[in-house]
Structure 1
Amino acid sequence: MKVDILVAEIGSTTTVINGFVGIGSSCPKFIGQGQAPTTVLEGDVNIGLKNAIENMRKNINTDEITYDKLFATSSAAGGLKMTVHGLVYDMTARAAKEAALGAGANIHMVTAGKLRRTDLKKIKEIKPNIILIAGGVDYGERDTAIYNAELIADLGVDAPVIYAGNIENQEEIKLIFEETNNKLYIVENVYPKIDELNIEPTRKVIQDVFEEHITHAPGMKKVHEMVNGSIVPTPGAVMLSSKLLYESIGDLVTFDVGGATTDVHSVTEGSEEVNRILISPEPKAKRTVEGDLGVYVNMRNIVELIGKENIMSSLGMDGESLDEFLDNHKPIPETNQEKDFVELLTKEAAKISLKRHSGIFRDLYSSSGKKKVAEGKDLTNVKYIVGTGGALTRLPNRLNIIKDILESGKGNEMFPNKDCKV
């Protein structure tokens, strides 16, 4: 069978392939999907990609699959390790962090102010794939970013550096790094004015660097030669899709529960009422990533959060049976009991992730009395919830999982309305 486009998502746990026909016509059509375990450990992700295409061939009951174009997203190289260094945490450091997360990076360190010896030691231990330096509004404070840049340049870490701080420092930063092996990217300030975020230029550069890094996954260079266009970081692709969907249907939240992480993406400006009492600005498009909440690689973290007693009660197991069950946990559940277990993990991971992503209402007390303020991302205007990732697209009770998550708030969270369409 000839298809117009195959789209591959080469994840940390699972490789998924989707086929489309009628692209460019008034009625494009999704024709089927296949999946297989990702084969990084086997030394070549192409094995998993071919297995996923073969699985799709069987699912749509055809003799063979040929295609015009192949597009790919991936997180199979372990993602993009980043460190972020700004001036004030709630301002430039936070803006830089939002840019990095929105691009699909995994942030391993965030610092505010001048770097210390312990910070430099940690940067060397992390061995980041990219370092982001920010600091100072345009034509504001200059010294901290220059000081940090000089220390990082002397560190000898072989990683590209993005400078996204005070534009007055740009020529100085170029001089600092001209004698180093660090590839330098100069972009617009992520925090050009007080309470103004400008994160899109930095996001774009981070994604460009990711494409260079992702070829290091075993066999990924071959995939890179096969695909049309860039290999996009999977979280970045989810964010891009969410933003495109927002243009058609309005405010939304996307849950992506994966084997290694759980990501939440939101595209909303929030309500006018909440914006009036918001302490600090939030990006319209925001991503948070929970690196400790994955239903396969980080499964045991979620087990600890739920509690083994609760899992034994839900699955009808004793302690010994549960331990054996956990030791043999598979990337793709097959039996009903395995699916029930992954549903428990998925619900807990998504519930915690939403709480960490969402803002809260709280009371401030001063000499003039009590004042209600909002802090963090306002999701109260959200009308749609999107589920993606293997867990929220394939588990039998996926819709109920999302509905239960929306009802898990205690009242002070700025959660989406319980009546959101899923």
Structure 2
Amino acid sequence: MKVYLTIDFGSTYTKLTAIDLENEEILATSKAITTIEDDIMTGFNNAFVGLEEEISSKTDLEKVEFVRKVACSSAAGGLKMVAIGLVPDLTADAAKKAALGAGARVMKTYSFELNHREMQEIKDSPLDIILLAGGTDGGNKNCIIHNAKLIAEFKLDVPVVVAGNKAAIDEIEEIFKEANIDYYIADNVMPKLNKLDVEPSREAIRKVFMNKIVEAKGLGNAEEFVSGILMPTPAAVLKAAEVLADGSDDEEGLGDLIVVDIGGATTDIHSIANGHPTQAGVMPKGLEDPYAKRTVEGDLGMRYSALALLEAAGTKKIREYLGDADKEVDVKDHCNYRHDHIKMVPQTEDEIKFDEAMAMAATEIAMARHCGTLESVFTPLGAMYYQIGKDLINTPYVIGTGGVIIHSENPHRILASGNFNANEPVHLRPRNPRFLVDRTYILSAMGLLAQELPDVAVRIMKKYLIEE
């Protein structure tokens, strides 16, 4: 039996998925606590023992041939970046969109010419990579060159992906070579005004991740066993979403879709859609969103960010999702406990109910932030409406993943909290989507598989994503 093994070195758990290529089925899954502080292979080996036990219970282990072993990782906080651009609403925003789509956690975005205080702040940050953008092709090049000189002056010891005005590239290369800065050149993230081109910079970021970050995170030990650590975990999930939406050569895709991924530290939303206006008389405004878009809400997590979620949602919203029967619950106390006990697994009905109320609040807020909005402007001819971001009202599918959704007996209710709300019509959230749940936690695995076998990945996702 030919088996394709995928490994996700997560911040909390290392997750293994064994895929039977001949029957296009999930043969076995296993997970164990990630041991990033010691040797990451310890956690992997623990998970692998569990995987072998499950495989041997189904088939003869001696007949199993692991034809490929590939991995993704978000261990040790994932890929931490800052994005630097020119104008905040244009190239700085374009740089941020490119970084997020590559699976990075964007800690901060800077714009205009950096000053020494900002550069010191960047130098003192626990960064993995910098994305340097600025200016359309043939436009302003003074800003990006100024920022490149400061990076060289401060001798920043992190890789820099340069994805700005092509007219400045030659000079920036000279600056970085002289200062011995590790840099990578990619096409401009915004070659024309309001026109995004994020894929080249995303690919450059992925290469940096493979070449540099893997070793820095202590993941080099794993490469003796696996064929390669291909990408950050969020990039693998986005890849899975994209191939499921678009399909492959031999398999039809599902069309536009959204993935809601609720974790302990963040809530990530991925959307695969053009998001063009669907309502008459609405005009797009500002920088277009990428077709494959990811947003990361660092204040909407179930454990690490429980207190930030409480601050973002407010006690009232969480109580609304708890229902009238729980008016006496001390919401702050429950959030404090989860923040202080990040590995807490809810056991009682009350604990599960509170977790799901948090998840509903996180989904509602994260979807409102991710989806586009309408802005009304009054003119002598009457009111006009502009759309900022994506119109996702007619999105046919929303897919839920993350522990709180996967283990819920009512994931439909959690995901429905992100739907269109007539009381907030300016938020262009999906109106009547069908809900699918990643019960077997396979999205990151399918993103890895899709790199080489997209047809198989699409067919397996169609089989294992369960409609609720």
Within 2, Cα distance between the matches of 1:401 and 1:283?
26
AA paired with 1:224? E
SS in 1 for 2:110: strand
Q: Which residue of 2 aligns with 1:28?
A: 24
Within 2, Cα distance between the matches of 1:46 and 1:166?
42
Q: For structure 1, list consecutive stretches of 5 or more residues without a partner in the other structure.
A: none
Q: Which residue of 1 aligns with 2:283?
A: 277
Q: Which residue of 2 aligns with 1:263?
A: 268
Q: 1:47 to 1:144 in 2, by over 3 A?
A: same
Within 2, Cα distance between the matches of 1:193 and 1:329?
45
Matches within 5 A, 1:4-403: 4-21=3-20, 23=21, 25=22, 27-41=23-37, 43-57=38-52, 62=57, 67-211=66-210, 212-218=212-218, 220-247=219-246, 248-273=253-278, 277-280=283-286, 281-304=288-311, 305-307=313-315, 310=319, 314=326, 322=334, 326=338, 327-328=340-341, 330-403=343-416
Q: How far 1:29 sits from its partner (Å)?
A: 0.8
Q: How far 1:345 sits from its partner (Å)?
A: 2.4
TM-score by length of 2: 0.81
| C-alpha contact (below 8 Å) 2:159/2:183 kept by paired residues | yes
| C-alpha contact (below 8 Å) 1:315/1:340 kept by paired residues | no
Q: How far 1:243 sits from its partner (Å)?
A: 0.8
Within 2, Cα distance between the matches of 1:109 and 1:377?
23
Aligned Cα root-mean-square deviation (Å) = 2.7
Q: How far 1:259 sits from its partner (Å)?
A: 1.8
Q: 1:321 to 1:107 in 2, by over 3 A?
A: closer
Q: How far 1:391 sits from its partner (Å)?
A: 2.5
| C-alpha contact (below 8 Å) 1:134/1:163 kept by paired residues | yes
Q: How far 1:300 sits from its partner (Å)?
A: 2.7
Q: 1:186 to 1:249 in 2, by over 3 A?
A: same
| More off after superposition, 236-245 vs 383-392 | 383-392
Within 2, Cα distance between the matches of 1:319 and 1:393?
23
SS in 1 for 2:364: helix
| C-alpha contact (below 8 Å) 1:135/1:142 kept by paired residues | yes
Q: How far 1:396 sits from its partner (Å)?
A: 2.2
Within 1, Cα distance between the matches of 2:129 and 2:341?
36
Within 1, Cα distance between the matches of 2:9 and 2:15?
7
1:415 pairs with 423, 429, 443, which one? 429
| C-alpha contact (below 8 Å) 2:415/2:435 kept by paired residues | no
Q: 1:397 to 1:60 in 2, by over 3 A?
A: farther
Q: How far 1:72 sits from its partner (Å)?
A: 1.4
**For 1:33-76, what per-residue CA distance to the aligned partner results, in whole angstroms no more than 9, with x for missing partners?**
222332334x2232322333344455567298663322211100
| More off after superposition, 301-310 vs 187-196 | 301-310
| C-alpha contact (below 8 Å) 1:45/1:217 kept by paired residues | no
| More off after superposition, 297-306 vs 145-154 | 297-306
**For 1:186-233, what per-residue CA distance to the aligned partner results, in whole angstroms no more than 9, with x for missing partners?**
111111111211100000011111222133334x22222221233320
Within 1, Cα distance between the matches of 2:2 and 2:328?
45
Q: How far 1:283 sits from its partner (Å)?
A: 1.2
**For 1:296-354, what per-residue CA distance to the aligned partner results, in whole angstroms no more than 9, with x for missing partners?**
22223224435399379649756898489544453544444443333222222222111
Q: How far 1:167 sits from its partner (Å)?
A: 0.9
Q: Which residue of 1 aligns with 2:460?
A: none
Within 2, Cα distance between the matches of 1:291 and 1:321?
21
Q: How far 1:150 sits from its partner (Å)?
A: 0.8
Q: How far 1:115 sits from its partner (Å)?
A: 1.0
Within 2, Cα distance between the matches of 1:88 and 1:321?
42
Q: 1:115 to 1:282 in 2, by over 3 A?
A: same
Within 2, Cα distance between the matches of 1:403 and 1:352?
12
| C-alpha contact (below 8 Å) 1:8/1:71 kept by paired residues | yes
Within 1, Cα distance between the matches of 2:35 and 2:69?
19
Q: 1:287 to 1:130 in 2, by over 3 A?
A: same
Q: How far 1:175 sits from its partner (Å)?
A: 0.9
Q: Aligned residues: percent identity?
A: 34
AA paired with 1:417? R
**For 1:68-99, what per-residue CA distance to the aligned partner results, in whole angstroms no more than 9, with x for missing partners?**
32221110021122111111122111111111
AA paired with 1:361? L
1:405 to 2:412 alignment? no
SS in 1 for 2:75: coil
Q: For structure 2, list consecutive stretches of 5 or more residues without a partner in the other structure.
A: 247-252, 437-468
Within 1, Cα distance between the matches of 2:2 and 2:413?
34
Q: 1:341 to 1:51 in 2, by over 3 A?
A: farther
